[in-house]
Chain A
Amino acid sequence: MFLADARLSLATLALVGIVAVLSLAVHAAPLFAGAILLVGCFAILIEATVREARRRRR
């Protein structure tokens, strides 16, 4: 279920880790941390789909 794209899964976990540090350790503004989480998810999704599309077109 989660290993179909290991890089997507690892990137998502890393993003959550970064947001956790921002939110809990650095005490960044909650909305800033939330925006990083949301935009980070979009970036990971786009990267994963573009990477797979390029791989299959080769």
Chain B
Amino acid sequence: MDVVSWSVAAPAIGSAFAASLVEVVEAFTIVLAVATMRGWKPALLGAAAGLAVLGLLILLLGPLLDRVPLHLLQLVIGVLLLLFGMGWLRKAILRAAGIIALHDEAAIFRSRQAQLKTGSGEAALGWVAGLAAFKAVLLEGLEVVFIVIAVGAGRGLLWPAAMGALAACACVGVIGILVRKPLANVPENTLKFGVGVMLSSFGVFWTGEGLGIDWPGQDLALLLFAALFLSVGLAAASLLRQPRREALH
């Protein structure tokens, strides 16, 4: 890839990597809980089944993307990105302000372990455990696929975005195999804040393009949107944090 292409592909790869990292960590936590309580066989079988269903969906639905008119695709993806990005950013702001608790992978891991401990019948529990792994991989995987499509479709950047997502899966997989504990040290809220900013910025950009708005500076407008969303997010988190400090004095 030449220098010009890298400058276009890099945001897609980076966005897909960061957003996918959060989803893959969540799926990994559940698969690890299943493996710890019920063994690696149901965990890996469930995860493999989830990946197989995901692969089938991509193979069946992927080619349909090329048949959708470009402006319509930009508009639909832009709106979905806005909904997704603003939802993530809202939660990240509330967590940064201390209004809601930070996402705790270790607590989720313990909770899943407790759920898998109860009940009777080893064979039935094996199925339940495998199903938990299957659901986790399928649901989080669907969000990764959506992120890849949203970030890459319509601009010929599906493969760079997919590469970013695959890199995230590989990172979590390798670290997970080495550590074999919930990845509790991933700064999840910081990542979600950044990803929320990026997805919201892409959302505004694509929605505008889909409605026929030619943003000044084209792709450079994304940087401006990201800076503005980041500023608004940080300002909101700071302001929401203040009433608690005042209450303490």
Which label, helix, strand, loop or mixed, suits the secondary structure of the A interface? helix
Q: Is the CB of A52 within 8 A of B94?
A: yes
B31 within 8 A of A: no
CB distance from A39 to the nearest CB of B (A): 9
CB distance from B246 to the nearest CB of A (A): 12
Q: How far is the CA of A52 from the CA of B94 in the complex (A)?
A: 8
**Contacting residue for B232 out of A4, A9, A13, A46, CB 8 A:** A46
Contacts of B233 in A (CB 8 A): 45
Q: Is the CB of A2 within 8 A of B211?
A: no
- Contact string against A for B residues 196-216, beta-carbon threshold 8 Å, 1 for contact and 0 otherwise: 000010011001100111111
Please report which residues of chain A, range 20-43, place their CB below 8 angstroms from some CB of chain B when the two chains form the complex.
20, 23-24, 30-31, 33-34, 37-38, 41-42
- Chain A: interface size category: 20 to 34
B45 within 8 A of A: no
Which label, helix, strand, loop or mixed, suits the secondary structure of the B interface? helix
Known: A12-B82, A37-B207, A49-B240. A23 touches B90 (CB 8 A): no
A56 within 8 A of B: yes
Known: A1-B87, A56-B100. A41 touches B82 (CB 8 A): yes
Contacts of B229 in A (CB 8 A): 41-42, 45
Q: How many A-B residue pairs have CB under 8 A?
A: 94
B27 within 8 A of A: no
CB distance from A37 to the nearest CB of B (A): 6
Q: Is the CB of A4 within 8 A of B79?
A: no
Contacts of A58 in B (CB 8 A): none
Q: Is the CB of B83 within 8 A of A12?
A: yes
Q: Is the CB of B213 within 8 A of A9?
A: no
CB distance from A12 to the nearest CB of B (A): 5
**Contacting residue for A45 out of B90, B215, B243, CB 8 A:** B90
Contacts of B86 in A (CB 8 A): 8, 12, 41, 44-45, 48
B40 within 8 A of A: no
Q: Is the CB of B216 within 8 A of A23?
A: no
Seed contacts A45-B232, A57-B99; 6 additional CB < 8 Å A-B pairs: A8-B87, A34-B208, A34-B215, A45-B200, A48-B86, A53-B94
What is B's interface to A at a CB cutoff of 8 Å?
79, 82-84, 86-87, 89-91, 93-94, 97, 99-100, 143, 200, 203-204, 207-208, 211-216, 225, 228-229, 232-233, 236, 240, 243
Give 15 A-B contacts (CB < 8 Å), ordered by A residue.
A1-B143, A5-B90, A13-B79, A16-B79, A20-B211, A30-B212, A30-B213, A33-B208, A34-B213, A34-B215, A41-B229, A45-B236, A49-B93, A49-B240, A50-B240
